[in-house]
């Protein structure tokens, strides 16, 4: 039986590559975008795969999330990929508070609310896997350069959410992971990043596939190595 995979923020970058990869593997994929009309690459993918269902979704609109959940039956793998870096060029002394709230809403609060809302769907799934795309910049140990207050703190908080979810849900058969996608050539990562989205997606999918409940609550790089909190 093919897996059912739900991916947020799949209109471009890593999310789009993850959607394409899972489709190639024969999965039933549900992919979201805040604006489907402007998601030309995702629309093109949908025209090639009948197993891809598109949803217009703002992950911070929790009523919208609940309405979508009510229309679905079961999910095997939930990938919380949607993310927002926030304004660049801000550091100590000029932190933009409103942007900080926005980044936290998208990167930290929304992933938890998605798991809470999709919990019954995941319970009915066979894999019961939740993967939250985090970042190594959220690691306390890896922070040797400072700065990046907004994005760093949102991903550190997301890691804490993942750890708590693993404690709460692992006994129910869930595997909950925080994953670092690598430094990827995306709108966020920039043109000088080390890897492309397909390389990142292939590594992430392999980590998700090979993970067991013993890995629940871990922070893992796309290449399979465990990262320090």
CATH number at residue 202: 3.40.50.720
Is position 20 within any domain? yes
Long-range own/partner contacts, residues 187-193 (CB < 8 A, 24 or more apart): 187/12, 187/13, 188/13, 188/83, 188/85
Residue 13 to residue 32: CA distance in whole angstroms: 13
Distant-in-sequence, close-in-space partners of 128: CB < 8 Å, separation ≥ 6: 76, 122, 169, 172, 173, 174, 175
| pTM for this model (two decimals) | 0.96
More confident residue, 190 or 229: 229
Q: How many domains does one find in the chain?
A: 1
pLDDT tens profile 150-193: 999 999 999 999 999 999 999 999 999 999 999 787 776 677 77
Q: Residue 90 pLDDT > 90, yes or no?
A: no
More confident residue, 109 or 148: 109
pLDDT of the residue at 1: 58
**Residues 122-134, mean pLDDT to the nearest whole number:** 98
Q: Are the CB atoms for 111 and 159 separated by under 8 Å?
A: no
Which sequence positions are flagged as catalytic? Answer: 151, 155
Is position 18 within any domain? yes
Q: Dig out the tokens for 97 from the structure.
A: 């508070």
pLDDT of the residue at 89: 75
- C-alpha 35, offset from chain centre: 18
Q: What is the residue whose two structure tokens read 């059912």?
A: 4
Is position 187 within any domain? yes
pLDDT of the residue at 188: 67
Q: pLDDT-derived band of residue 228, with 50, 70 and 90 as boundaries?
A: very high
Is position 226 within any domain? no
**Residues 66-78, mean pLDDT to the nearest whole number:** 98
Distant-in-sequence, close-in-space partners of 136: CB < 8 Å, separation ≥ 6: 142, 180, 221, 227
pLDDT tens profile 6-23: 999 999 999 999 999 999
- DSSP assignments along 13-77, one per residue: HHHHHHHHHHHHTT-EEEEEES-GGG-HHHHHHHHH-TTEEEEE--TT-HHHHHHHHTT----SE
Is position 183 within any domain? yes
Give the residue numbers spanning the domain of 152. 4-221
pLDDT of the residue at 195: 85
pLDDT tens profile 22-57: 999 999 999 999 999 999 999 999 999 999 999 999
Q: Which strands make up the sheet holding 175-180, listed edge to edge?
A: 52-56, 28-33, 4-7, 77-80, 129-133, 175-180, 219-221
pLDDT of the residue at 122: 99
Q: Are the CB atoms for 19 and 35 separated by under 8 Å?
A: no
- What mean pLDDT is reported for the chain? 95
Is position 229 within any domain? no
Is position 99 within any domain? yes
CA-to-CA separations, 96 to 106, 145, 147, 149, in angstroms, rounded: 16, 20, 13, 10
Is position 129 within any domain? yes
Residue 124 to residue 75: CA distance in whole angstroms: 7
**Residues 72-82, mean pLDDT to the nearest whole number:** 98
Q: Are the CB atoms for 175 and 167 separated by under 8 Å?
A: no
């Amino acid at each position: 039986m093919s897996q059912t995979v739900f991916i947020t923020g799949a209109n471009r970058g890593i999310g789009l590559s993850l959607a394409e990869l899972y489709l190639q593997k024969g999965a039933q994929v549900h992919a979201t975008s805040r604006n489907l009309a402007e998601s030309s690459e995702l629309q093109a993918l949908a025209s090639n795969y009948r197993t891809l269902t598109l949803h217009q979704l703002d992950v911070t609109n929790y009523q919208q999330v609940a309405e979508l959940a009510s229309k679905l039956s079961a999910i095997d793998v939930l990938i919380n990929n949607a993310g927002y870096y926030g304004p660049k060029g801000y550091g100590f002394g000029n932190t933009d508070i409103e942007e900080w709230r926005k980044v936290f809403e998208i990167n930290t609060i929304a992933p938890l609310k998605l798991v809470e809302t999709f919990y019954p769907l995941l319970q009915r799934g066979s894999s019961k896997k939740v993967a939250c795309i985090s970042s190594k910049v959220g690691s306390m140990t890896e922070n040797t350069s400072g700065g990046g207050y907004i994005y760093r703190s949102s991903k550190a908080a997301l890691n804490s959410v993942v750890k708590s979810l693993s404690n709460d849900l692992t006994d129910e058969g869930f595997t909950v992971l925080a994953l670092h996608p690598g430094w990827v050539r995306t709108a966020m990562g920039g043109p000088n990043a080390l890897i492309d989205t397909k390389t990142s997606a292939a590594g992430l999918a392999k980590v998700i596939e090979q993970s067991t409940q013993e890995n629940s609550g871990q922070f893992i790089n796309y290449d399979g190595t465990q990262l320090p909190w």
